[in-house]
Amino acid sequence: MTPALFKQNTQVPTLSWWNRGPNNDEDFDKSEPGLHRGLLALAVYLLLASASLVQAADTTIAFMSNRSDWRNGEIYLMNPDGKQIRQLTKHPQYDEEPAWSLDGKKITFVSFRNLEQIPERGIWRGEIYLMNLDGTNPINLTQSPERADGVSSWSPDGRQVAFTSAELFNEDILASSDIFAMDADGGNLINLTNHDALDETPDWSPDGLQIAFSSNRDGNWEVYVMNADGTNPINLTNHPARDGRPDWSPDGNQIAFSSDRDENLEIYVMNANGTNSTNLTNHPAEDNHASWSPDGLRIAFSSIRDGNWEIYVMNANGANPINLTNHPEWDDSPSWGPTPILSIASNGKLATLWGKVKRSNTYGKR
């Protein structure tokens, strides 16, 4: 998702290497200061362009794995090529569903580490936790023993976190859940959907104005979009099959989602208004949980196509799927982190911002 506070300056610096002379003739400015200023501007521009390309590859994918203990899930990080896997959480209870803050410094995740029961049903519940990028300082943000919380998404400005929260259960099946928003420190809790049905898996739009989510409020699982304050919910998919788990493209023009409309769970992509749905994975095995790369060129997803849940990455048009994890244990819930972007500060020095690189909509088509 492209943070609203990040704007990439695409204007090429003006290089005043020549001026018009007194007689209005085109003449090179041979003065040393003018030449040096022009060369300096060109050097800075080339440095910024090349550094941005290098930094665009400097991203990280967070995911859940039970590779350290088949009975327990933990949060891990890896490079986009599947290398340099490192474990972030180390707790005897389950941690899953990581989600990045847009400054790349924090990760929210679902944890069952408190293992408190809902008294009237005896069902385990999850909480939304916050931790630093290196896994330190885990904090319980929701602290709601009467509810079960899951799947979070950060607002582009980093001030709020949307998440799923449920209160009512029917044995081990949710009877009702809603999309909530809270401040990044867990304060100011707001119920955005407030509906009798199941509303789940929120994903904040890159401009911060909308939230996509899954809902069965029309009797079938669909992908909806609503304003960030919960108003004006719209059914985007409106299909008799099950559709869910939306993920916005960085430019906000497309939404990836999961669907079994071809009699098998696949990764699809559609325009942000719900038109032009396309099956990207088209594989007989189940594919789920799409997550766009910050530059919009690739999509990470979970798949069981090799007989075990693994993290794959493919081009944004569905081509060239690659198994990144290739591990005998379960790997799932990929979340592609933001990209550090270099910019020129007002003092002329290079500064680093974090965000997703905004691109024109030239991908996602076969």
Q: Could you read off the pLDDT of 236-289 as tens digits, one per residue?
A: 999 999 999 999 999 999 999 999 999 899 999 999 999 999 999 999 999 999
pLDDT tens column, 23-80: 333 332 333 444 444 444 444 444 444 444 444 457 999 999 999 988 899 999 999 9
Domain presence at residue 34: no
Mean pLDDT of 351-364: 40
On the question of pLDDT at 346 being above 50, the answer is: no
* Token pair belonging to 295: 């530059």
The three-state secondary structure class of 82 is coil
pLDDT > 70: percent of the chain:
72
Sequence-distant contacts of 227-236: CB under 8 A, at least 24 apart:
228/155, 228/181, 228/204, 229/192, 230/179, 230/190, 230/191, 230/192, 230/193, 230/194, 233/193, 234/274, 235/274, 236/212, 236/270, 236/273, 236/274
What is the pLDDT averaged over residues 134-139?
96
Average pLDDT of span 287-316? 97
d(CA 274, CA 210): 14
Whether 354 is covered by a domain: the verdict is no
The pTM score is: 0.79
User: Is residue 206 in a domain?
Assistant: yes
- Whether 17 is covered by a domain: the verdict is no
d(CA 242, CA 257): 10
Most confident of 56-60, 111-115, 202-206: 202-206
**Model pLDDT, residue 316:** 98
Domain count within the chain: 1
Cα–Cα distance for residue pair 263/298, rounded to 1 Å: 25
Is the model's pLDDT at 7 over the cut of 90? no
Instruction: Render pLDDT for 218-247 as a digit per residue (tens, 0 to 9).
Output: 999 999 999 999 999 999 999 999 999 999
Report which DSSP code applies to 33.
Answer: H
Which CATH number do you get for residue 168? 2.120.10.30
Question: For residues 281 and 146, which has the higher predicted lDDT (pLDDT)?
Answer: 281
What is the pLDDT, as a whole number, of residue 357? 44
User: Using CA atoms, how far apart are residues 65 and 73, in angstroms rounded to an integer?
Assistant: 5
Residue-level pLDDT at 20: 27
| 323 in any annotated domain | yes
What does pLDDT average to over the chain?
80
Q: Report the distance separating Cα 108 and Cα 128, nearest Å.
A: 7
Whether 221 and 242 have beta carbons less than 8 Å apart is answered as yes
Residue 216 lies in a domain: yes
pLDDT of residue 362: 29
Of residues 181, 51, 174, the one with CA closest to residue 128: 181
Alpha carbon 257 to its chain centroid, in Å, reads 12
DSSP E strands: which ranges in 205-297?
210-215, 222-227, 234-235, 243-248, 254-259, 266-271, 278-279, 287-292
364 within some domain = no
Q: Strand 243-248 to strand 254-259: parallel, antiparallel, or no bridges (unpaired)?
A: antiparallel
Q: What percent of the chain has pLDDT over 90?
A: 66
Report, in this order, helix, strand and coil percent for the chain, each rounded to 5.
5, 40, 50
pLDDT tens-digit map of 149-174: 999 999 999 999 999 999 755 555 55
The region of weakest confidence among 2-6, 21-25, 204-208, 338-342 is 2-6
What residues make up the domain containing 74? Answer: 54-342
Asked if the model's pLDDT at residue 16 lies above 70, the reply is: no
In a domain, 154, yes or no: yes
